[in-house]
Amino acid sequence: MAVHPIEERYGTTEMRAVWSEKYRFACVVAAEVALAKAEVAHGMIPAEAAAGIEEHAPEASLERAKAIELEISHDMMAIVKAISEVCGDSGRWVHYGATSNDILDTATGLQLRQALTLIDEKLRLLLRVLLKRSEETKSLVCIGRTHGQHGVPTTFGLRFAIWASEVGRHIERLEQLRPRLVVGQMTGAVGTQAALGPKAMEIQATMMEVLAIGSVDVSNQVISRDRYAEYFMFCANVATTLDKIGIEIRSLQRTEIGEVEEAFGANQVGSSTMPHKRNPIKSEQVCGLARIVRSAVEPALQNNTLWDERDLTNSSCERVLFPEASILTDHCIRVMTTVLEGLVINRAAIRRNLTLLHGINMAESVMIELTKKGMNRQDSHERVRIASMQALVEERSLADVLGMDPEVQRYCSKTDIAALLNPDSYTGTSVRQVERVIGKLSPLCT
């Protein structure tokens, strides 16, 4: 019976596997084997001991470790005993010179390496979809909105390109984060490496080379949690971009706006009581789960403020944070990618909304032209502002009101004004900007 929704409702199979007990156990075993190989390389333990550990440690079972933990109430020591049991005479060298978090934090590094790989793959797929939608809609003129009110025109392509640019930065952040995050340690009880002798630093370096992850420069009993806090802030940042996209889709899918719509299956049900409903439930799901991902940031930061060389307050917290934030972030990327792939764009509604104010939203265009032709900029702003307010109150077109102003007519004829109020001719460099983003970010998709 599932207790947490990430067990069955949210998440991908591959990301759940990374944070499963089974994979965690395998990473711990891999760290113990790597330690033994490193210790042999630097003359700390006999070669045959490391060979025995390497051969037999993978035979240790999670179930046996759990049974031992019930007796001794120490999870890491239970795993050490379970590995030692299957390694015969070599078992006495398992975990030699290590403390629990040397192995546990190193195992976390292995899990994070795989988690970042999965998130990286999904971000690049999301970017590919956004760039494709940007190209398709780069010339699709639509109303721009500020403060929820109609502004001057923009294009759907520019919106998609802005989102793509954010995702591109997340991919860059991930690459920058990886070497700081994917690390292990072998520093002993308080960080001095005293139990490993004079070759301790070399042993740590070799162990991490075996595991193909980075090595800390300095540590106490645990890897400093600023590294992990950065990961959770990265997840929160990604989730917030997805939240931002989801909010925009939900807003544009409002009945009275109707410019976009999530794909809706032939047999999909929108409401248990209102048969007509077609709700943006996937975007709503992403927006809701983003709140959970962001909530991981505060405890992650607090996990770095441990007592002295360490306490245990981070441990229980991280057992929740790592799987929850990683699985939900991965899930949200996948869901939003699907939403954007299938997003229905209603061009008729876009056109209707673009002309809803009968040119009043194009007031800036007229103001700019009046100034260009000689009117004082502040005067032109005030004159067009007053005309716009009059047009709104009287429910008239801005062209009609401006056409009655002789001062405006001195600079711009009615024909000029009609051209200035054409939204299709007032999108600036939006197409070129979209093309620049596509050219810059397309290599990240390969």
Active-site residues, by number, are 147, 271
Instruction: Classify burial at 276, counting beta carbons within 10 Å of its beta carbon; exposed 0-12, middle 13-18, buried 19 or more.
Output: exposed
Beta bridge partners of 215: 184
DSSP helix/strand/coil, 293: helix
- Give 68's DSSP letter: H
From the list 218, 225, 224, 231, the residue with the least C-alpha distance to 186 is 218
Q: Which residue's entry shows tokens 């934090």? A: 105
Q: Report, in this order, helix, strand and coil percent for the chain, each rounded to 5.
A: 70, 5, 25
Q: How far is CA 367 from CA 289, 397, 417, 427, 430, in A?
A: 44, 16, 10, 16, 20
| 28: nearest Cα among 70, 80, 63 | 80
Spatial distance between the Cα atoms of 206 and 41, rounded to a whole number of angstroms: 8
216's tokens: 């800390």
The CA distances from residue 423 to 141, 369, 404, 419, in Å, are 8, 15, 22, 9
